[in-house]
Structures are given as C-alpha cells and as structure tokens.
C-alpha cells in the first residue's frame, strides 16, 4: 500500500501545470509575440513619422527669417534679426528655440544666444534651411534651428507605457477568456470523463455518460463508451465461446440430442416441383449469359490503357456494380480479376504502388503460409480435432484498396491480407477449434467476431478472429461448418448480398 501511494504521488506530481494553464500561457505568449512585434514596429514607425513632421514644421517656420537674412548688409544686422526673431518666439512661449547661422563649411557665424559650443542637447528637434548671403563665404550657408525635445521625449515615453499597458490588458483578456472557455468546454467535461473512465477501470462499464461541453469531448466520450461496449461484448462472446468449448469437451447428452434435432430440422430439403425445375434451368441460362458478359468486360479492361476514356467509363461501372455481380455468381476468381482491372484503369499510380508493396509482402510470406497451414493442422491434431479443409488466401489488390479507402487505414493496419479458413463438420467443432487456436496463438480481442451466436442480418454465420504468431505478425482465421460455408459462398448470406444491398 505504501509503495502504491508513493507511486501515485509521483504520478500526480509529474503532471505539473494543468492543461488549462498550459493552453492559456502558450496561447498568450504566441499572441503576445505576434501582436507585440506588429504593434511595436507600427508604433516605432508612427513615432519616427511624427518626429519628421515636427522637424519639417520647424524648418518651415524659418523660411521667412532666411529670406530676411539674405537682404542684411552686415553680420551685426544678421545678429539683430536673429535675436529679434528669437525674442518673438520667446514672447509666444517658445523659449526652447535656438537659431544659428553656419557657413558652407559648418563654421558658426552668428547665434541667437551667446555660447561657444554649437552642439545641441541629445533630445532635440532640429531643421536646416539654406541661406544665400554675400556676407557668407561663397555666399552660401545654413540656418539651423533646434528645439529642446524634452516634452516630445516625455510624449514618446508615455506612448510606450500605453503600448505596454495595451499588451498587458490584451494578454490578461486572452488568459481570462481562455480559462472561461477551457473550464466550460474542456475542463468540466474532461473531469467528468476521467471520473467515468476511472469507474470503467474498476469494472463499472455502464458508468460512462456523455458529458456536456465541446463536441470533441462529447465525441471522445462517445468513442470511449463505444469502446467499452465493444470490449464488454467481445469478452462476453469469448467467454460464451469458451463455455461452449468446455461443454463440448464434457457434453451433456440432452443438449447434444436437442442440437442434433435442430440441425436435422433445419437441413430438411423442401420438395421440388416442375415449376421449380424450370425456374432453375432459366436461372442457369441467365447465369451463363451474365458470366459471358462479365468475362468480356474483364478481358476488355485488361487489354486497355488508363488513358482510354471508354475504358475509364467501363472501369467505373465494373468497380461500382459488376464486381458485386461476379461475387453474387460465386465467381470469386472473376471478381478479383474485374476488381484489379478496374482499379488499374481508375487509379494507375495507386495500383502500381500497392502492387509493389503487396508483392514485397507476399514474396516474404510464401514459406510462412505453408508453415502456418502445417502449424494449424498440428494444433488441431494435438486437440484431437478434425477439419474438412484449411483454405488460405491473399487479399487481392482491389479489395485491399477498397478497405484502405473505406476505413482510412494504412497497409500495415490491415490484418486480413493473409487469412486462413478452417471448415469443420459440426457447429460445436467451431468453438473447439477456436479454443485450440486461441490457446496456441495470441488473439487480438477487438478483432474477434462470433457470427454464429449473433448472425448478420443476411444470415451469414462464421467465427472471425485475428491472432498473432510468434513473430507478432497478425493474420485472420475464419472458422465455419460446411453448411455455413456453402451459405456464405453461394447462398443468401453471400458477400455481395450484404454489401451490394
């Protein structure tokens, strides 16, 4: 108990931050980085543009003064005009303006204030206006104005503070909205689902309910519920099959007599009449005509190229209709040829790739098939069981492609590429054979179907199970009686009936 509590505490401590906080923080960080970078460069551009506009306006304010200085007769007059312009600015409240006149070489000629150092402070607004005057060397110079930018600096600082505040409020709103959404749509149904799964772990399968919240959570809960029901049904079928096998090992005479009587009653032939004979002859004739038609279409498709538009139309019809027709006629070989020929025309690239992959798999498994057949016979002999026949087949390319497309599987996930069919005498032999197979091979629980105890709607009966050999390769085993086999291959329960409708 102490070890279990320590292990449980370690597990709980290893969880770390909850999903909601991880989701919120990760989302907030990503959105903050994106919005922050975009708004940073946007604000940086606006501040720079504002600075240029202020410098431009400052320069435009000196144009009248520059024109006035061009008519000055002496440097003293220039100084008087600069001082007068400076005083006028001071009277209007612009005490932080400073105006200097430089020659073309950058030497200070006249300043509005008495100072030796011409360098302005670090934060200033400044502008240059060209001046033409005979008082300057080469008659050219620059009128420079600069203004203390402390107020503008304070405005920029305030802008950045507001920018940080906006980012902070945005992140906070994101976190709050994500937490509310997470708690309502994910956390609450997830807690409910985890509680239900815990009950399932303790054996209470019926305790799982579909919670309210995000549709993904509802779908997940439904899938868990479906998985639990499927596991429960599979285990029930396995237990029933095991029980039937044990009963057959120690048979009850009364039960055996009842089973024999039921089989004899079910197998009684109905009397035939002349009308039935005529109908049978008519069906045989129609079957021969239909087979001839299908064979001609098969030969046509096998001789055509995928680029032929006529072959494309015919292949589509074969793929959707004629394949089922060939199976209805119990012509499995023709059905496979039709399916492969139509697949090659409709999707040549997929056909070539799948052909190479299946060829590689079957080339490696030729000896394996023979070994498994011998192995299955030895298993049955060991349990003193006899069988009429052990068949094996490799799933055709067209059928493999149908399954891949219909169920969204990969080639490695298809477990019935290689399949063995064991045909026995009586129904009770099916369960004895199943018990022997499961004792020798490792069964895949969710791949077990007992269609004998629970036949399909079309009357199909057989036991399907997928097992693993010692190399962990999965293959399918089907177990049925001779009567079930005849019914499946040519009777009402044939494959075409429940797939073709």
Same domain for 367 and 394?
Answer: yes
Same domain for 358 and 458?
Answer: yes
Same domain for 304 and 428?
Answer: no
C-beta pairs of 195-201 under 8 Å, 24+ apart in sequence? 196/221, 196/224, 197/224, 200/224, 200/228
Same domain for 434 and 492?
Answer: yes
Residue 115 scores a pLDDT above 60: no
Same domain for 501 and 358?
Answer: yes
SS3 content of the chain, % helix, strand, coil (to 5): 65, 15, 20
Q: What is the DSSP string of 30-57?
A: HHHHHHHHHHHHHHHHHHHHHHHHHHHH
Same domain for 313 and 455?
Answer: no
DSSP secondary-structure letter at 272? P
Q: For 71-89, what is the mean pLDDT?
A: 80
pLDDT of residue 31: 82
pLDDT of residue 340: 92
Residue with tokens 């177990």, as numbered in its chain: 479
According to the per-residue pLDDT averaged within each range, which of 142-146, 262-266, 323-327, 357-361 is highest? 357-361
Q: Confirm whether 446 is domain-assigned.
A: yes
Domain total for the chain?
3
CATH of the domain at 396: 3.30.460.10
Q: Confirm whether 228 is domain-assigned.
A: no
Domain boundary residue among 107, 128, 148? 148
Same domain for 330 and 378?
Answer: no
Same domain for 373 and 410?
Answer: yes
DSSP H/E element including 445: strand 442-450
DSSP H/E element including 475: strand 474-481
Q: For 378-399, what is the mean pLDDT?
A: 90
pLDDT of residue 441: 93
Dihedral in degrees, nearest 10, Cα atoms 112, 117, 122, 128? 50
pLDDT of residue 270: 42
The residue segments making up the domain with residue 116 are 61-148
Q: Which of 62-66, 91-95, 153-157, 241-245 has the lowest mean pLDDT?
A: 91-95
Q: For 251-261, what is the mean pLDDT?
A: 46
Residue 366 scores a pLDDT above 90: no
Contact between 75 and 135 under an 8 Å Cβ cutoff? The reply is yes
Is 215 buried (19+), middle (13-18) or exposed (0-12) by CB count in 10 A? exposed
Classify the C-alpha dihedral 446-447-451-456 as positive or negative. Answer: positive
Q: For 200-222, what is the mean pLDDT?
A: 64
Q: Confirm whether 411 is domain-assigned.
A: yes
CATH of the domain at 128: 3.30.450
Residue 484 scores a pLDDT above 60: yes
C-beta pairs of 29-37 under 8 Å, 24+ apart in sequence? 31/170, 31/171, 31/174, 32/167, 32/170, 32/171, 35/167, 35/170, 36/167
Domain boundary residue among 148, 180, 202? 148
Same domain for 304 and 374?
Answer: no
Same domain for 342 and 378?
Answer: no
pLDDT of residue 215: 65
Contact between 354 and 411 under an 8 Å Cβ cutoff? The reply is yes
Domain boundary residue among 148, 163, 178? 148
pLDDT of residue 204: 57
Contact between 201 and 224 under an 8 Å Cβ cutoff? The reply is no
Q: Confirm whether 335 is domain-assigned.
A: yes
Q: What is the DSSP string of 86-140?
A: HHHHHHTT-TTEEEEEEETTS-EEEESS--S--PPPSSEEEEEEEEE-TTSGGGE
Residue 282 scores a pLDDT above 60: yes
β-pair type (108-111, 463-468): unpaired
Q: Which of 27-31, 83-87, 143-147, 488-492 has the lowest mean pLDDT?
A: 488-492
Q: For 319-343, what is the mean pLDDT?
A: 85
Q: What is the rounded distance in angstroms from the CA atom of residue 206 to the CA atom of residue 443?
A: 25
Residue 255 scores a pLDDT above 60: no
Query: For residue 193, what pLDDT band results from cuts at 50, 70 and 90?
Result: confident
pLDDT of residue 283: 65
Nearest residue to 200 (alpha-carbon basis) of 181, 183, 221: 221
Residue 10 scores a pLDDT above 60: no
Q: Confirm whether 39 is domain-assigned.
A: no
Edge-first strand listing for the sheet containing 124-132: 108-111, 97-103, 140-148, 124-132
Beta bridge partners of 126: 146
Same domain for 384 and 325?
Answer: no
State phi, psi for 132 to the nearest 5 degrees: -115, 115
pLDDT of residue 233: 76
Contact between 299 and 315 under an 8 Å Cβ cutoff? The reply is no
Q: For 95-122, what is the mean pLDDT?
A: 70
Q: Confirm whether 190 is domain-assigned.
A: no
Q: Confirm whether 252 is domain-assigned.
A: no
- Residues near 20 by beta carbon (within 8 Å), at least 6 away in sequence: 178, 179, 182, 183, 186, 187
Same domain for 405 and 496?
Answer: yes
Q: Confirm whether 474 is domain-assigned.
A: yes
Q: For 396-412, what is the mean pLDDT?
A: 87
């Amino acid at each position: 108990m102490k070890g279990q509590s320590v292990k449980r505490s370690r597990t709980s401590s290893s969880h770390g931050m909850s999903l909601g906080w991880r989701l919120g923080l990760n989302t907030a960080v990503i959105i903050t980085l994106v919005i922050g970078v975009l708004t940073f460069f946007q604000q940086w551009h606006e501040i720079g543009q504002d600075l240029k506009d202020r410098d431009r306006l400052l320069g435009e304010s000196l144009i009248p003064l520059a024109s006035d200085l061009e008519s000055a007769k002496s440097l003293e007059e220039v100084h008087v005009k600069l001082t007068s312009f400076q005083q006028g600015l001071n009277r209007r409240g612009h005490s932080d303006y400073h105006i200097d006149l430089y020659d073309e070489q950058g030497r200070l000629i006249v300043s509005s204030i008495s100072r030796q150092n011409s360098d302005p402070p670090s934060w200033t607004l400044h502008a240059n206006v060209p001046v033409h005057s005979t008082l300057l060397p080469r008659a050219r110079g620059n009128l420079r104005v600069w203004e203390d930018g402390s107020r503008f600096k304070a405005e920029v600082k305030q802008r950045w503070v507001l920018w940080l505040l906006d980012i902070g409020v945005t992140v906070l709103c994101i976190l709050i909205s994500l937490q509310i959404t997470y708690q309502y749509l994910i956390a609450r149904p997830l807690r409910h689902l985890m509680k239900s799964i815990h009950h399932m772990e303790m054996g209470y399968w019926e305790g799982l309910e579909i919670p309210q919240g995000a549709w993904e959570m509802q779908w997940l809960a439904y899938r868990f519920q479906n998985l639990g029901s499927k596991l429960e049904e599979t285990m029930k079928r396995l237990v029933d099959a095991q029980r039937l096998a044990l009963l057959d090992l120690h048979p009850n005479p009364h039960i055996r007599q009842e089973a024999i009587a039921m089989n004899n009653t079910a197998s009684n032939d109905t009397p035939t009449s002349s009308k039935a004979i005529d109908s049978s002859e008519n069906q045989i004739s129609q079957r021969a005509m239909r087979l001839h038609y299908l064979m001609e279409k098969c030969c046509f498709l096998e001789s055509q190229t995928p680029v032929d538009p006529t072959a494309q139309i015919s292949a589509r019809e074969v793929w959707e209709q004629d394949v089922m027709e060939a199976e209805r006629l119990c012509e499995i070989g023709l059905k496979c040829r039709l399916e492969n020929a139509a697949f090659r025309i409709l999707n040549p690239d997929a056909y070539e790739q799948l052909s190479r992959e299946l060829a590689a798999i079957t080339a490696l498994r030729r000896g394996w098939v023979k070994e498994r057949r011998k192995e299955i016979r030895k298993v049955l002999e060991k349990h003193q069981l006899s069988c009429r026949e052990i068949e094996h087949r490799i799933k055709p390319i067209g059928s493999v492609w149908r399954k891949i497309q219909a169920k969204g599987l990969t080639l490695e996930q298809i477990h019935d590429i290689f399949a063995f069919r064991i045909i026995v005498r009586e129904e009770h032999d099916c369960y004895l054979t199943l018990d022997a197979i499961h004792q020798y091979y490792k069964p895949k629980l969710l791949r077990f179907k007992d269609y004998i105890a629970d036949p399909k709607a079309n009357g199909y009966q057989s036991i399907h199970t997928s097992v693993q050999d010692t190399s962990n390769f999965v293959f399918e085993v089907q177990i049925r009686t001779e009567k079930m086999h005849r019914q499946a291959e040519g009777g009402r329960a044939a494959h075409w009936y429940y797939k073709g409708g």
